[in-house]
Amino acid sequence: MKKVYPSAAAALDGLLHDGMLIAAGGFGLCGIPELLLAAIRDAGTKDLTFASNNAGVDDFGIGILLQTRQVKKMISSYVGENAEFMRQYLSGELELEFNPQGTLAERMRAAGCGIPGFYTKTGVGTVIAEGKEVKSFNGQDYILETGIFADLSIVKAWKADATGNAIFRKTARNFNPPAAMCGKICVMEVEEIVPTGSLDPDAIHLPGIYVHRIIQGDHEKRIEKVTTRKKEAV
């Protein structure tokens, strides 16, 4: 199967439809599939639900889709740094399903492993538990969380071969692998496509069996917050 496509638009061709659930990798602005997000914006697909650690910032990441009113609902664990997100949520324009960060990652990973639900102590006795089944194990309460089975996964890797075996760089490794696993179709953008067989099998973070389409592109790699030390007096 040929997995490498010439552009983000080509890789998404035939996959997008209004009202779909998309799992997006990345953490803050680190490791986000920026080229695929831009292609979704350009395609005009609307009423989208995104499962993602966060919604980016006002003009980058999923934030660009909030600007164009293409997102109906966010399933997220952190929603700071985005004024437009806050405005839409407070005005009732945007639905929000809060998830503890580990729970969100496990909901994606579980779906990728074919697990429809799991019990966790995280959120017991809080608003997170409202409306969810509670079960006791060894005298302690746990709440039932369901796996996130997405229509489409979009992720970004550092390196991959043409079959989709991928390596994620540092912080970009956290949400990208589980997000990639939980989609019916996974489209991955990478910084570099290397010859098949050149990657150390023990270094692979995501097996190519999860990846259906691949693009290579140039990335902005924007820094979310620049923090520097004050210049010391001589």
CATH code: domain of residue 96:
3.40.1080.10
Q: Is residue 127 part of a domain?
A: yes
User: How are beta strands 21-24 and 48-51 bridged, if at all?
Assistant: parallel
Torsion of CA 59, 62, 68, 72, to 10 degrees: -150
Q: Is residue 118 part of a domain?
A: yes
pTM over 0.75: yes
Neighbours of 208 (CB within 10 A): 20
The reported pLDDT for the residue numbered 184 is 98
Q: Is residue 226 part of a domain?
A: no
User: How are beta strands 117-120 and 140-146 bridged, if at all?
Assistant: antiparallel
Distance (Å) of CA 197 to CA 20, 172, 194: 35, 23, 9
Q: Report d(CA 142, CA 190) in Å as an integer.
A: 38
Helix (H, G, I), strand (E, B) or coil at 187: strand
Phi-psi sector, 92: left (phi>0), alpha (psi -120 to 50), beta: left
Q: Is residue 170 part of a domain?
A: yes
Return per-residue pLDDT of the chain as tens, 234 residues.
799 999 999 999 999 999 999 999 998 888 999 999 999 999 999 999 999 998 888 889 999 999 999 999 999 998 777 889 999 999 999 999 999 999 999 999 999 999 999 999 999 999 999 999 999 999 999 999 999 999 999 999 999 999 999 999 999 999 999 999 999 999 999 999 999 999 999 999 999 999 999 999 988 877 777 788 887 766
If 0-12 CB within 10 Å is exposed, 13-18 middle and 19+ buried, where does residue 186 land? buried
Residue tagged 């989609």 (tokens): 183
Cβ neighbors of 162 (< 8 A, separation 6 or more) are 3, 4, 193, 195, 196, 214
Q: Is residue 228 part of a domain?
A: no
Q: Is residue 57 part of a domain?
A: yes
Check if the beta carbon of residue 48 is closer than 8 Å to that of residue 24. no
Check if the beta carbon of residue 186 is closer than 8 Å to that of residue 149. no
Token pair belonging to 115: 């697990």
Q: Is residue 160 part of a domain?
A: yes
The reported pLDDT for the residue numbered 234 is 63
Q: Is residue 225 part of a domain?
A: no
Q: E strands within 106-195?
A: 117-120, 134-137, 140-146, 150-161, 166-167, 183-194
Give me the number of domains the chain comprises. Answer: 1
Query: Which domain, by its residues, includes 39?
Result: 8-133+140-216
Q: How far is CA 135 from the centre of its chain?
A: 29
